[in-house]
Structure 1
Amino acid sequence: MENAIENLLNVKVKKLNKSISGGCVNSASVYQTEDNKLLFVKQNSNDGSEKMFYGELESLKAIRSTKTVLVPNPIATGYTDGQYFIIMEYLNMTSLNKICSAELGSQLADMHLNNLQGEQPNINQFGFHVETCCGFLPQNNTWTNDWLTFFIENRLAYQIQLLQSNSDHSSSKKKVIENYWPQLKQIIPKFFEGIKVKPSLVHGDLWSGNAAQTNLKSVIFDPAAFYGHHEYDIASTTLFGGYSNEFYDAYFRKIPKENGFEYRMSLYHLFHYLNHWNHFGGQYISSTINTFEECFNAYKYL
């Protein structure tokens, strides 16, 4: 790996004896360059890793270009000895405190508003210029003119297709595919009546494990970016631990909630539970079923 990094960057490096996580699907290491810069390198040997890392590289570039919220500086992707890898700036990160949580809420709102500053958005479709992965699974980011079509077909329907293709033959899977999904697909448009969704650059997987602070600045990482509905990111922040009140207060001061916000949260949660079912199997079946039922209950109040 050292030789591959040196050839890519044209600088001598050494691997540091530092224990560090690469997330749920990758291994990771820290390298030091001869001019004392630190590099964070994630690697994976599985098929599809090249696409995953390239999508992450382009996601980091896109977020960084908004000049709103800090992300690690993306450097390069590569392949050596059966391993795909991504190189980025190493940041020494710790858990968010209340001050940095508020800063992150404000900066995330700025990121979501970045494409919408003028009379017309700079990007006026939903999607992204490359495929990205939420976890290890690829996402179809084909440019689409309206959010409903993009979300239904490129996010939820794609997860259902993955579920159909796996080896699970449970009654729960049958219920979701043959009963719950056809019903929900018909009523999703009702959740968006009265609002106009414009494309915002979103992180795409902003659960609490993908945010931290470094040198008293908030930072986000492991993005699966695309242009979508800003609420999509907010929904993911409320899963798997969530963020502080300071984060949400700062965010909603800049982007107030719209009618039906609470009900749409269940729709966006559904994507992540389906994605986790497809990643990790049966432990997420009940959460997925419950979230479908939350969506059906929410529909009654629309």
Structure 2
Amino acid sequence: MDPRKLLERAGLEAKGVPQSLYGGDISRVYRLGAYVVKLAPNPPLGLFPAEARGLKALAERGVRVPRVFFASEEGLILEYLPEGPPDWEGLARMLAGLHRQREAVYRAEAGFLGTFPLPGGEGREWTEFFFSRRIEPLLQATWDRLEGLGPRVEALFQRPLPAEGPAPLHGDLWHGNLRFTPEGPALLDPSFFVGERGVDLAMMRLFGGFPKVFWQAYQALYPIPEEVEEALPQYQVYYLLAHVHFFGKGYLGSLWKAISAS
């Protein structure tokens, strides 16, 4: 679809020629003036509405995100956020504020990690919730490619994970889903759910991670207990299973390291 057609469908004025922006491995992203239009070839049903719900949930909890102007099965129209200077301490304040919030139960709506569908539901016991709503669907999807690591993953979640309490999470917090703006840091492309903050922290340590200045500020604001720190490789299994699913067996080495460190 031409991004201008989605703007017209939303009753918004399309000015100028669409400018391609980086959209990761899933979406085609364009800027038209004040708007960002996200499209994808043959997106799974519910992908863009789920992203819009996640952005709304983060905004309601005090996180800076782009405003959602329109969401449909065909695409998403967001506010364009201009680029600003890096502010890692500001990001630490925003995330510590998010992760300190407490909700009644662990909870997820049916949604996605990338384009991988994840079930919804809620629960009070963290390890069972995380395994059944996040690990198990990916484990089933990747089992035949894991070269015998599947039982090792299952065994990891036979012992309880540390639980500080149900907190709202971005759910896919790597550096590509962060944007620094003139008003401060903003988060993009959430896979929102209510879980344990270790899930977000684990993703922020993968693939180069966030710089030392961020971690120093975050630790000062909301110290990470030793048991949570030790559980981060176990949480990274979630994201590494997703990478095996999307990109293949080249991630089995990283998955093995995370399992061995858990």
Secondary structure of the equivalent of 1:19?
Answer: strand
How many angstroms does 1:17 deviate by? 4.1
- Give me the identity figure in percent: 25
2:229 aligned with 1:228: no
Alignment deviations for residues 98-136 of structure 1 (CA, whole Å, 9 cap, x no partner)? xx101100111111123x3xxxxxx311123x3221111
Corresponding residue of 1:197: 164
Q: 1:6 to 1:47 in 2, by over 3 A?
A: closer
* Superposition RMSD in Å: 1.9
Secondary structure of the equivalent of 2:21?
Answer: coil
Show the 5 A alignment for 1:22-37: 22-32=23-33
Contact 1:15 1:29 survives alignment (8 Å): no
**Whole-Å separation in 2 of the counterparts to 1:15 and 1:228:** 42
Could you list the runs of 5+ residues in structure 1 that have no partner in the other structure?
Answer: 33-37, 117-122, 296-302
Corresponding residue of 1:298: none
Q: How many equivalent pairs are there?
A: 260
Letter in 1 for 2:48: F
Alignment deviations for residues 257-285 of structure 1 (CA, whole Å, 9 cap, x no partner)? 12312220111111111110011112111
Corresponding residue of 2:121: 142
Letter in 2 for 1:41: V
Corresponding residue of 1:119: none
2:219 aligned with 1:239: no
**Whole-Å separation in 2 of the counterparts to 1:241 and 1:182:** 27
State the structure with more CA Rg: 1
Q: Of the candidates 85, 95, 101, which is equivalent to residue 108 of structure 1?
A: 95
Corresponding residue of 1:70: 64
Could you list the runs of 5+ residues in structure 2 that have no partner in the other structure?
Answer: none
Contact 2:30 2:37 survives alignment (8 Å): yes
**Whole-Å separation in 1 of the counterparts to 2:135 and 2:9:** 41
Contact 2:70 2:78 survives alignment (8 Å): yes
**Whole-Å separation in 1 of the counterparts to 2:256 and 2:69:** 40
Show the 5 A alignment for 1:70-219: 70-79=64-73, 84-93=74-83, 97=86, 100-114=87-101, 116=102, 123-128=103-108, 130-164=109-143, 168=145, 173-177=146-150, 179-186=151-158, 188-189=159-160, 191-192=161-162, 196-215=163-182, 217-219=184-186
How many angstroms does 1:153 deviate by? 1.4
Secondary structure of the equivalent of 2:246?
Answer: helix
Contact 1:71 1:219 survives alignment (8 Å): yes
2:233 aligned with 1:266: yes
How many angstroms does 1:216 deviate by? 5.0
Detail structure 1 runs of 4+ shifted over 4 Å in the superposition: none
Corresponding residue of 2:35: 39
Q: Normalised by the size of structure 1, how large is the TM-score?
A: 0.80
Secondary structure of the equivalent of 1:235?
Answer: helix
Alignment deviations for residues 64-118 of structure 1 (CA, whole Å, 9 cap, x no partner)? 1112x31111222125xxxx21111011235x63xx101100111111123x3xx
**Whole-Å separation in 2 of the counterparts to 1:249 and 1:107:** 14
**Whole-Å separation in 1 of the counterparts to 2:30 and 2:254:** 33
Contact 2:172 2:200 survives alignment (8 Å): yes
Contact 2:240 2:255 survives alignment (8 Å): yes
**Whole-Å separation in 2 of the counterparts to 1:289 and 1:52:** 30
**Whole-Å separation in 2 of the counterparts to 1:15 and 1:287:** 44
**Whole-Å separation in 2 of the counterparts to 1:47 and 1:111:** 29
**Whole-Å separation in 2 of the counterparts to 1:284 and 1:140:** 24
Alignment deviations for residues 37-58 of structure 1 (CA, whole Å, 9 cap, x no partner)? x11011012241x422111100
Contact 2:96 2:218 survives alignment (8 Å): yes
